[in-house]
Amino acid sequence: MLTDLDEIGRRSKDNAGVNLRFRRFLKAHHQPDGPFRILAERVQHEMDCTQCANCCRQFIVGVTRQEIEVMAAYVETPVEEFIDQYTEQDPDDSRERVLLNRDEGCAFLDGNLCMVYDARPKPCREFPHLALKHNSLGARMATVFKRAPLCPIIYNSIERYKQLVGYQDTENERH
C-alpha cells in the first residue's frame, strides 16, 4: 500500500485525467457501491492513521453543539470557554462552528495523535467516509476523488477498485 503523501499527491496529479474517466466509467456502468465500501473498509483497517494524520492537517471539521459539549467535558473546560478557545465560525455558514485549525492543523493534533480521540466529533470518527452505508457513494464520488491526493486510504481504495472492476484506461492508448 502506498503511504508516502508526496508520491500520492504526484500520482494523483499525473492521473487526474485517468481518474476523471474512471469516474465516468463507474457512472456509465452503474457500478454498485457495496464492493467499493467493502474494499475501502479493508484498506482502512490496513492503514495506521497515526502514521499520517494528514486529514487533521488539511480538512476543516464542522462540529455540533452536542459535540462541543462532549469535547469540552472531555478536556474539563467550560463549554463557552471551549467554544472561544477551540472553535471558530464556519467560513461557509455563519450559523455553524468548526474546530480551530492552527498552522500545523487541528488545535487538538499533537504530533500525529488526537488529544480528544475518545470524544472526537462525527466527521473525524467517520473519516474518510468511504464505508458509510447511509450515503450514496455515487453522489459523493467527485469529493472522494478530490480528497485522494490527501489521504492514503482514499487513494489506495480508488486504485484497488480500478483493479477490482477491471478498469482499463483506453484514452491514453488512442494518443
Please write the tens of the pLDDT for every residue from 66-90: 999 999 999 999 999 999 999 999 9
Q: What local confidence, expressed as pLDDT, does residue 136 receive? A: 61
Q: Which of 2-11, 71-80, 124-133, 154-163 has the lowest mean pLDDT?
A: 124-133
Residue 134 has pLDDT above 50, yes or no: yes
Retrieve residue 117's grid coordinates: 480521540
Instruction: Report d(CA 158, CA 11) in Å as an integer.
Output: 12
Instruction: Report d(CA 171, CA 155) in Å as an integer.
Output: 21
Q: 8-54: per-residue pLDDT in tens?
A: 999 999 999 999 999 999 888 888 888 988 999 999 999 998 899 99
Instruction: Over range 115-137, report the average pLDDT.
Output: 84
Q: How far apart are the first and last CA of the chain?
A: 30
Percent with pLDDT over 70 in the chain: 93
Burial 49-60, CB ≥16 within 10 A → b, else e? beebbbbbbebe
Smallest CA-to-CA distance from 127 within 106, 107, 100 is with: 106
Dihedral sign for Cα atoms in the order 110, 113, 118, 120: positive
Residue 175 has pLDDT above 50, yes or no: no
Retrieve residue 11's grid coordinates: 500520482
**pTM tops 0.75, yes or no:** yes
Q: What local confidence, expressed as pLDDT, does residue 174 receive? A: 46
- Of 148 and 135, the structure prediction assigns the larger pLDDT to 148
Q: Tell me phi and psi for residue 97, to 5 degrees.
A: -120, 150
DSSP string, 39-61: HHHHHHHH--GGGT-HHHHH---
